[in-house]
A = this chain, B = another copy of it.
């Protein structure tokens, strides 16, 4: 009778592997927005989402990013404090606010986009184009797990 224990190797276990690689890639870019603007990951994602899609509501940001609504709420508050976004109350439904970047917010987004594209290139050069695409596709596929 074979022991289950011997079949298990943490270093080949997908949750471990994924998290490990994710930290590596994700923290590499975090250093950039953290050092440049003192932003958290939630703030960066909210900024990026608003920069990419234009004005959205908090709920729409949740949908686009998968961030928890409390993270969005806090990130929006903090970005607003920097004067990087404005809230515009919806007249038909006063629970809802349109969130739109100010020009300062857009500048910061532009600057981080360029850094993001450079970072992307760095990882792509490391992996090679073919593997980079393979990896992106596999990760996208996992969204439906």
Contact = CB atoms under 8 A, between A and B. Distances in A.
Count the copies: 2
A127 interface: yes
Contacts of A20: 66, 139, 143
Interface of A: 3-5, 7-10, 12-26, 28-30, 45, 48-49, 51-52, 64-66, 109-110, 113-114, 116-117, 119-120, 123, 126-127, 131-132, 134-136, 138-143, 145
B136 A135 contact: no
A24 B143 contact: yes
10 contacts: A8-B116, A14-B123, A16-B45, A18-B22, A20-B66, A21-B22, A24-B142, A123-B145, A134-B134, A135-B138
Task: Determine chain A's interface SS by DSSP, over half rule.
Answer: helix
Contacts of A142: 21, 24-25, 127
